[in-house]
Structure formats: structure tokens, C-alpha cells
Amino acid sequence: MPTSSAPTPTGGSAGGTGRHLGWTLTLLALAQLIYALDLNIVFVALPEIGDDLGFPGQTQQLVVSAYVVFAGGFLLVSGRAADLLGRRRTFVAALLVYALSSLAGVLAPDSGTIIAARAIQGIGGALLLPATLSLINTLFEEGPKRNRALAVWGGAGAGGLTIGALLTENFGWPAVFFVNVPLAGLAALFVIPRDPARGIRRRFDLPGVLAVTGGSTLLVAALVEGPELGWGSTWVTGAFIAAVLLLTFFAAIEARTADPLMPFRLFRNRSLTVGTSITFLYVATFGVLPYFLTVLMQSVHGYSALETGLAFLIPSAAIAVGTQLGERLATRIGNRGTLAIGFVTGAIGTAALALGFDDGAGYGLPVPGLVVSGIGQGIAWTAMWIAAATGTPADEQGVANGIASSTLNLGNAIGLAVFTAIADVGTEGKSGSALRAATADGEFLVVLPTAVGMVIGLLCTLGLRRPAAAALPAAAPIRGDEVESARR
């Protein structure tokens, strides 16, 4: 098994052949597919899961929220674990957690077991995302090589919802869990460079770990359960108060400890600070659209799981194209301009997409908006991860990506909570065709504010520094084999 030399200060690896890095990138892209599958796959399978295991519709959402809550609570800690314990070790541990929890989901005899399996999958996701990103950001040097690697990694997860629908339709809902078992096993067979020898040993900030994990978990849980239980319910209110207290305690710990879990000095890096803000806005806007599109297709238009998955083929392809465009644009014009293009394109496409949110609209009406919005989403996705990684030393890439990933999860929870409340206005007490029309109208009111949120994301990009002219490569023709070369 090959070993990597010590990472350079800029985050690139000084060792490793192109062939080995190509195999590693393939593995990391497969890991992104696993992550995307688990995040989105159960949306189309929920009705079948509920029918088979016998739990009512109002509790089925726990299958989704259990994953989101535990992933959100453990992301920052997992990012630091990648720095302190080793990126490869953390990555392999994540795959093991995924495989075992997915097998438990396949064999689940009741609703409690499958919810528990999803919660453990969430911890696996929290381990996987920062470890994967920190591996990319340390093995590929900052600049065009890293940009290309992030584009390949990002494009791999675009078809998660479609794959979930095909599995559900042809093999039943257990297939959406079982698919992770061979995927995780296959990923483990690939070669990742060993973790470099540890330098100065650092203490794992246990009080900080407990405070931030508890606070983050309770905050995300309150945001996820608020629409179901009511924002004024005792449980939700208590969770918010406890989360604020724990996160305040965490900030106090981090300001005083000699070896903090999340060093606040990292935020002096403008690229990381702006990148995390953009990540929040991205997932609170672009990130909520698949959920509302799924509701539109299944609850309003009556699409089956397979039809819903096939309907997502077009936007998935557009997102995949956008991720590759994002890499090329970032290399040629810089990250600030690339993010601006992504958010502008996304806002225009999303505004056009709103026309399709009508109970009488056919699938053809939203397609132009889906394509344009998807391309903008892909461009912004690649560029925002480039921003979050730029300028951070290699030995702190894990925690930097943990910060950005935590913001991603929090933005998704807040975005869904806010926009679900807006979408549900006017639906109470209705049924049949009246409910379908009210649902479509409510979602129309959601889509337009997400486009406005993308414009706010555009304004945030102004906080990034303009690239120096000398830092950008000379313009060159775009070759069709550029992305493919990253795999070799």
C-alpha cells in the first residue's frame, strides 16, 4: 500500500502518483454518491416504508429527520477527528458505520429499528463528509488540480434521488438501505494513502466536544421537529433553550482552552468565513428545492416513486454539468466570479421554475427552469467548497470542512423549517383537489423567496477577494477530456 508524504502548507500532497490519485478520487467520488444516496434516497421510499412497517404518515418524517439531526450534531467533531486521528482512519470508520447501519435498516422489523438505523447513518454521514473533503484538499494542491477534483467529487452525487427511485420501484424500499452495504465494501477495497505520521500531539477537547455535539444536535432537532410539534411546544422550546446554553458554553470553552476544538482564528481567513456564509445560503435555497419538487410530483401530480426519480434525471444531469463548469470557471476567472455566475444563473432558473408549481401544470413547463437552475446549482456547489478550503493549512482542513459542513446541515434545517411553514399556509382542513391546489400554491410562494435568497448569496460573494491577475492561468481552449483526466 503506498504512503503519502507529509502535506505541504498549502494543503497539497507532496507525494502520490497520478494513477494512485486517480484511484483515490474515484473512491472519494463513490463516497459522495453514498452520502447523497443516504441524504435523499428515503424521500421517494417513505410511503412504502410506512405501509410495510405500519407507522402513520405523521411519524414517517422521523426516518428523514433522524439522519439530519445526528449528522448535524456530529459534523464539527468529526472534522476535528479527521485532523487529530487521521483522515483515512476517519474515512474508513465512516464507511464501516454506513455498512452496519444500512444492514440494520434492511433487516428492520419495525419503525423504531429503522429510525435508530437512520440516526446511526447520520453519524456515519457526519464522519464521511469532512473526512472526504479534507482528503481531497490535502491530496490535491490548491488551484486547478483541487478544483478539478472537487468538481468530479461533487458531480458524483447528482443522481442520488433518481437511483433511490429506481431501487424502490424495482426491488422495494429495503434496497435503498442495502445498496450502501456493497458500495461501502467496494470503497474500502480502493487504496487511499496512509495518514502521515503525527507531529505534535494535540488534546481532543472533550468538554468542547460534549457541548457542541449536544448543542448542535438539539438545535437541529428543534428546527426539524418545530413544524410537526408546533414552535410553541414545550419540547421544541426546551430544546432551543438548551441548545443556546450549550453552544454559549462551547464558545466560552473555546475562547479559553489551549487546544480548541474549533480555533476561532480560522475565521480570520476571509475565504473560509465567506465560504461558510455562502454554504448556509446555498443549502437554504438550492438545497430545499428537491424536497418541494418531490412533494409537487407525488402529492400534487400523483407521480409514482419511479416517475419521480425519472423526472429528476434532467435536473440531475444539469447539476452534474454545472459542477464541471464550476471547476473550469474557477480556474479561469477565479472563485468570486464563478460563485456570482452560479447564483445569478440559479436565481433566474428558479424564478422560471416557479411557473411549474401549479396543480394543472405538466412536466414540460418547469423543465427550462430545472435545467437553468440546476446548472447554476452545480456551478455554485463546486465553487463554494473551493472557497471553504482555500487558505487553510493542511493540518486543519478537517475542522475547516467540519465548520462548512455544519453550516450546510444547519442551513438545510432552517431552510426547510421556514419554507415548509410558508408552504403549509392555506392547506389546513382541505382535502382532495382543493388540497392539491393549495399545496401547489403554497409551494409557488416558496420557490420565489428561494430565488431571492440566491440573490443574497450573490451579494455575499462580494466579500471574497478579487483574484490577482497573475494568479489566474492564461485563457486556453476547453478540452473535452479535462474532467476525465482527473480520474486517470
Q: Which positions ≥6 away from 23 have C-beta within 8 Å? A: 190, 191
CB 83 within 8 A of CB 134: yes
For 166-194, how does the pLDDT look when each residue is reduced to its tens digit (9 = 90+)?
Answer: 777 777 778 778 877 877 766 656 656 67
Burial of 313 (0-12, 13-18, 19+ CB in 10 A): middle
Residue 83 has pLDDT above 70, yes or no: yes
Percent of the chain with pLDDT over 70: 84
CA 229 to chain centre: 26
Angle in degrees, CA 46, 51, 57, rounded to 5 = 60
Number of continuous H segments (helices) and E segments (strands) in the chain:
20, 0
Average the pLDDT over 470-475 and give the result: 46
For 85-120, how does the pLDDT look when each residue is reduced to its tens digit (9 = 90+)?
Answer: 888 888 888 888 988 898 898 888 888 888 899 999
Residue 312 has pLDDT above 80, yes or no: yes
Average the pLDDT over 332-353 and give the result: 94
Q: Which positions ≥6 away from 308 have C-beta within 8 Å? A: 44, 161, 165, 294, 297, 298
Percent of the chain with pLDDT over 90: 25
The radius of gyration of the chain from alpha carbons, rounded to an integer in Å, stands at 22
Average the pLDDT over 71-97 and give the result: 87
Residue 475 has pLDDT above 50, yes or no: no
For 8-53, how does the pLDDT look when each residue is reduced to its tens digit (9 = 90+)?
Answer: 333 444 344 556 677 778 788 878 887 877 776 666 677 778 778 8
For 265-296, how does the pLDDT look when each residue is reduced to its tens digit (9 = 90+)?
Answer: 888 899 999 999 999 999 999 988 988 898 88
Sign of CA dihedral 35, 413, 377, 273: negative
CB 303 within 8 A of CB 311: yes
Query: Torsions phi, psi of 56, nearest 5?
Result: -65, 165
Map residue 194 onto helix, strand or coil. Answer: strand
User: Among all chains, which residue has been given the C-alpha cell 503519502?
Assistant: 4
Confidence of residue 1 (pLDDT cuts 50, 70, 90): very low
For 376-431, how does the pLDDT look when each residue is reduced to its tens digit (9 = 90+)?
Answer: 999 999 999 999 888 888 888 888 888 998 898 888 888 888 888 888 888 888 88
Confidence of residue 461 (pLDDT cuts 50, 70, 90): very high
Residue 476 has pLDDT above 50, yes or no: no
Return d(Cα 359, Cα 362) in angstroms, integer. Answer: 9
User: Higher model confidence: residue 226 or residue 195?
Assistant: 226
Stated length of the chain = 488
Q: Retrieve residue 222's grid coordinates.
A: 428543534
